[in-house]
A and B are shown apart, each in its own frame.
Chain A
């Protein structure tokens, strides 16, 4: 069955034990995103720090209600971006978006594991268009919050 190809063990692990979950202080920006089709929602905070003049993601904290894909994706996202320079994290975000839009063409291929690390586990989601928004919910919230945090910094 194809279910296992979407619901890989990594995803189910993150769903049962989400990383970095919970809203924390201090933060530079907070956003609230919703998927109107299903009612899944996420409140997400970002705090940035300055390292040698470059913005770096210090913390991402979030609270959310949603399906296994949306929860696991937010968890994996937080692992991937925390501690990284914003520019690098944005590149990872773009790579993930492209993976989601690949329409299953990369399921049997070699997604860029180096860049995406655990996020490659979501490659199966690209075959189920209805779930793409689930996987992207946390990422879109992080991008929005980070953009707002960068504006505040300037």
Chain B
């Protein structure tokens, strides 16, 4: 079966890692992009070129190389902003999505800052049972620091977000709602725009975790409606070490810095310092220009493919995977059974075979999946599961690889004599 949405063979040729053989000299079948994505040569070249041709400390100095480094960094910011239909001054570069969430959680609890933003005892923070730990633990910590109450929306047995009681779960005391834009376990895409509408009516902010959505579907921040959106470069074909916090311009302006030091200051005296406007206010230290160049190259690569095509290709693979796994006796898929509002993460249980053991057998066949709770332990408890095996798809995966996954699962069942 070939893809009508992407020239997958041409795409695969861009990814050096896919030429690897792994256990038993088997070709690599990489179904773990939800953990991290492989990188195309164009991204690797951009990182290398930044170091070889334009390496200097950006935003400093007056020499040519410094100017080029600055252009590279700010050019990357503009590229990312355009990808989201946002303004460049709304794009903050962080280390990753996790750091971006922590930045916002900190800003809402920093003492003596903008009183309108500050979360206090008696306030509420609303999250969901579906969250990755990165969009869960920082909010627990915020509540512990401030005495606010943590509340959460439940997950339905089908793996959807329970939004029936949205009107009562978001109250006048809710200061922020943090919700995933796409689950890294079930692929579920909750109705973020609807959640944002209700939240804004009640005066609450909304942070969307886009770590699994921005790489895989077209995202327009205005249409999304969230006040904050976070995501990581390494999950979208880019290098490690850089991520993005999108924040509505007026909001970022009102927020105190998180990590402080050089680059983000306006004036420094021994008695005290003042800080630059956003986004620089939130970017301490020498800018990671090579990582930014890599991320920009990744965005360019995805833009050239077309995010509609990327999403359609993944939907096709996901539909195939759901069909193939549904056929296997003893396999239970976690999460929605259709591709409606559901992205390309397929987590499943195999009766009588623990995920570690499923993963071990698949590894032996050259297939890389993830096993365990995937940094979403409460979600697993909510779905009544100790741990699961997860296959996640991206632009370089093929329908043949989905078939190999299904065959591998059957093999694991036979190996452990349950199939």
Contact = CB atoms under 8 A, between A and B. Distances in A.
Contacts, number: 49
Interface stretch (A19-27, A46-54, A63-71, A80-88): A63-71
A131 B356 contact: yes
A38 B373 contact: yes
B416 A2 contact: no
Contacts of B373: 38-39
Contact of B357 (A1, A65, A68): A68
Contact of A1 (B355, B356, B364, B416): B364
B356 A69 contact: yes
A69 B360 CA distance: 11
B361 A3 contact: yes
A97 B364 CA distance: 25
A88 B380 CA distance: 40
Given A2-B23, A38-B387, A40-B387, A67 B364 contact: no
Contacts of B361: 3
A152 interface: no
B372 interface: yes
A134 B23 CA distance: 21
Interface residues of A, number: 19
B386 A65 contact: yes
A141 to B, nearest CB: 17
Interface of B is mostly: helix
A67 B386 contact: no
Interface in A25-75: 37-40, 65-70
Contact of A3 (B364, B371, B386): B364
A66 B354 contact: yes
B15 interface: no
Contacts of B416: 12, 68
A1 B353 CA distance: 19
B301 interface: no
Contacts of A38: 355-356, 371-373, 387
A95 to B, nearest CB: 24
A3 B354 contact: no
Contacts of A40: 356, 386-387
Given A38-B356, A38-B371, A67-B356, A2 B364 contact: yes
B217 to A, nearest CB: 29
B354 A37 contact: no
B377 interface: yes
A90 B70 CA distance: 61
Interface of A: 1-3, 6-7, 12, 37-40, 65-70, 128, 131, 134
13 contacts: A1-B364, A12-B416, A12-B417, A38-B355, A38-B356, A38-B387, A39-B372, A39-B380, A39-B387, A40-B356, A40-B387, A67-B356, A69-B356
Interface of B: 23-24, 353-357, 360-361, 364, 371-373, 377, 380, 386-387, 415-417
